Structures are given as C-alpha cells and as structure tokens.
Amino acid sequence: MRDPNCIFCKIVEDKVPSVKVYEDEHAVAFLDIAPLANGHTLVIPRNHAHKIEDLSETDNRGVWELVRIVVPRLTEAMAAEGMTVAVNNGEAAGQEVHHVHVHLIPRRRDDGYGPIHSLFKGRRPEVTIPELEAIVHRIRAI
C-alpha cells in the first residue's frame, strides 16, 4: 500500500530521484538528501506506515533486517567508528515525514555530536524502583 502524497512512497516507486543504497522486497535504504553526516542513510518499508506501531509484522522484520545488512557496510564504507541508529516515532518525537524511517548516521569520536542523551537537555526525571514498577504495570496492562 502506498500514499500518493508521501515523498518516501514516491522514492519507493522511483517517481522522484534518490540514491538507493540497497533494497529488497520489503524495504529500501537510500542516502538522506539533507544528511547530518556523510553517508546518512534512511531505511524505509516499501509499504506506507506512519509510525512503528502501524507496520505489519512482515514490514517490521524487513526494515530491521535491512538495517542489520546496511549498518556494517555503511560503517566500513564511511570508515565510521560507530553508527547512530534512530527512529523519530510521531511528530512529538521529531518525525517530519509521516512514513516510518530509520536513520543510520555514521559517527566518529571527534564528529562534534553527542550521544542520544544530548537530545534531552532539560532536567531528567528522578525515579524510584516503585515508580518504574508502576510504569511497567501500566504498559503490561494494555
């Protein structure tokens, strides 16, 4: 299933230019046109899904399998020392294109970027074990 207004669906269908790194029957990996680092790659399902929870089991497996295949190749090709693998799931998390996509960002120790924790510059919550257990209870109750 495709969304005719989705830029990523258009990439899947080769209706807009892109530089594809790898593709298979379930997912496509292509270079980001506004990269955070050289080699910044996006992995998307061929079928349109807004958020992770909208993915079919098959598409979910396909996306993460392609991530597993591309990461070591991208790491070697870009002489990266690490790889940030990230998903912005929903607008509040920073998702700008409403089609699931996994960012693969080659990293070096001296690249000037911080760890994922640096995204959250505000005060982090202080929690107790009972508070964590209450959160787990709410999750498992659904």
- Residues annotated as catalytic are 101
User: From CA 8, how far away is CA 10, in angstroms rounded?
Assistant: 5
Q: 59 by DSSP, 3-state: which?
A: helix
Rounded CA gap, 115 and 136, in Å?
26
Nearest to 103 by CA among 55, 51, 44, 54: 44
Nearest-angstrom CA–CA distance, 104 and 49: 19
24 neighbors 62 (Cβ within 8 angstroms): yes
Tokens of 125: 């919550």
Hey, how many other C-beta atoms are within 10 angstroms of the C-beta on 75? 17
